[in-house]
Amino acid sequence: MRRALALLVFLALLMALSKAVRTFTWLEASAIGTTIDVDFGFTPKLLVGFMSGNPNTSNNVTGTNAYVHQAIGFGISSSNRRACVLCIVDGSAAADLAIGHSDAIFMSVDRLVGGSLDIDAEANWPANSVRFIVDVKIVSGWGNMRVSVLALGGTDIAEANIVTAQEHTSAATQTVAHGLSGGAPTGCLLMSVGFGTAPPNSSTSLGMLSFGAADGTRSWVTYIGGDDAAATMDNVSYALTGGSIAMGAEPAVTTTARAGVPTFDATNVSIPWIERAATRYYFLLVWRGGQFYAGSTTTRTDTTGFNGPTNGFIAEAALFASCNRAASTADTPTAHSAMSIGAGISTTERVAQSMFDQDATANCESAVAIAHDAVYTSITTADAQDGLMDITSVAADPWTLVMDDADATASFVGVASWGPNAGGAAATPHGPLGLPLNGPFGRLFG
């Protein structure tokens, strides 16, 4: 009997999908070489990070930050990571935008010279943790940054990779080698700042960011862009299903490149380009293992609970991305630049960060928000909380959600959901017989 139970414990651990959501503070005062240890309870195999520039450790919306940073990072290891960032200077008399992208850091603020955070060598990581390291100190006056990270691992994630690619040379299907050795990816995330100069690099005269997800059958994309140096603010957002990349040239208020739903095979990710204009860079995070669904939902204008997307499996982790508006008409961005990115694995472990840059004002009017108890947040033109979406249950498919603060208008939300291998067992804080997964067993199998 004991042997049978021990075997069950072993099998349960062997089929685990480990997951965690963490938010930590990157201090403006931290010098180059300063390290930040983040305990995930297991050793992650892939990381997705995001931040808006909001420094607060409690729920907050502020329009007084000098700089808004919509930043996204992908991380696999200390030698395989990418970063994209759009910076907006709040209060500027003319639009002041900058972008940066890098294949050598995990998270950055403004132009890659204003501060960068990397993943330290694995040999330096504490047990069940990742050690981050400051490569470039945050410029004095820019303030502290709260960095949020979704981490995934366990034996269900067989392998992962991050690929750098360029916009296709024609409106046709592009094949990008994904670099996975064991077969076709399970899913991918995509990001770009639409910059044609190879990473690591930056520009002080461009302003856009694209973020999307695909599972081989479905996809969604979010996009924000603005006209740098415009005397009257001119900025837009765009979000819908069926797309995976959207880019605009300066002024980035129209889309000049769009890609549809990527498909996967043992060697390539195949990306159908609907339109294109240059050879700008984008990054793909691909992985094999577990189950993945690129779905969507819509926020509510009341506080009645509702269902998220039905995945065909019980999700254990999810990312939520929105431009705080209804789904766009294809190829038609609309006024105001806004983006919310959130992550959650349970009703108690979730976070959302968002930014808002108002269109058609004489001076730049931008704000950032953070919510430590939600997966979606939006901001009004008065720099106040408008909508707040939370998780109420993760026990079944679909998850159930609720608006803790009802949206003024219903907004499209792209949802990227991860689950364990089909027929596999879920990872829990404590496994069968009460064995902790963040103890020796977690170290062995996580």
- What is the Cα–Cα distance from 334 to 331, expressed in whole angstroms? 10
Is 438 among the domain residues? no
- CA pseudo-torsion sign 308, 321, 292, 271: positive
Is 428 among the domain residues? no
Is 356 among the domain residues? yes
Beta strands in 276-425 (DSSP E): 281-288, 291-298, 306-307, 317-322, 334-335, 337-344, 350-357, 366-371, 376-379, 385-393, 400-405, 412-419
Q: Phi-psi region for residue 110, left (φ > 0), alpha (ψ -120 to 50) or beta?
A: left
Q: Output Rg (C-alpha) for the chain, integer angstroms.
A: 20
- What is the Cα–Cα distance from 420 to 178, expressed in whole angstroms? 22
User: Of 385, 335, 375, 337, which Cα lies nearest the Cα of 353?
Assistant: 375
Cα angle 19, 25, 31 (rounded to 5 degrees) comes to: 125
Confidence of residue 3 (pLDDT cuts 50, 70, 90): low
Is 441 among the domain residues? no
Is 63 among the domain residues? yes
Which position has the higher pLDDT, 14 or 370? 370
Amino acid letter for position 225 = G
| pLDDT score at 63 | 81
| pLDDT score at 79 | 97
Is 240 among the domain residues? yes
Is 414 among the domain residues? yes
Please state, in angstroms and as integers, the Cα–Cα distance from residue 45 to each residue in 20, 96, 168, 179, following that order. Answer: 12, 37, 29, 15
Range of the domain at 333: 11-423
Structure confidence by residue, pLDDT tens digits, 57-72? 999 998 876 678 899 9
User: Quick check: 97 pLDDT over 60?
Assistant: yes
Structure confidence by residue, pLDDT tens digits, 193-230? 999 999 999 998 889 999 999 999 999 999 999 999 99
User: Quick check: 426 pLDDT over 50?
Assistant: no
Return the residue matching tokens 């240059």.
Answer: 278
- What is the Cα–Cα distance from 350 to 253, expressed in whole angstroms? 32
Structure confidence by residue, pLDDT tens digits, 267-322? 999 999 999 999 999 999 999 999 999 999 999 999 999 999 999 999 999 999 99
Q: Give the number of other CB atoms < 10 A from CB of residue 12.
A: 21
User: Quick check: 12 pLDDT over 70?
Assistant: no
Structure confidence by residue, pLDDT tens digits, 371-411? 999 999 999 999 898 999 999 999 999 999 999 999 999 99
| pLDDT score at 433 | 33
Global confidence as pTM: 0.92
- Count structural domains, the chain: 1
| pLDDT score at 446 | 34
The arrangement of strands across the sheet holding 306-307 comes to 306-307, 400-405, 385-393, 376-379
Structure confidence by residue, pLDDT tens digits, 112-157? 678 999 999 999 999 999 999 999 999 988 889 999 999 999 999 9
User: Quick check: 28 pLDDT over 90?
Assistant: yes
User: Quick check: 435 pLDDT over 50?
Assistant: no
What is the longest distance spanned by two Cα atoms in the chain? 76
* Contact criterion met (CB below 8 Å) for 378 and 407: yes
Is 443 among the domain residues? no
Structure confidence by residue, pLDDT tens digits, 166-202? 999 999 999 999 999 999 999 999 999 999 999 999 9
Structure confidence by residue, pLDDT tens digits, 217-226? 999 999 999 9
Average confidence (pLDDT) over 9-34? 84
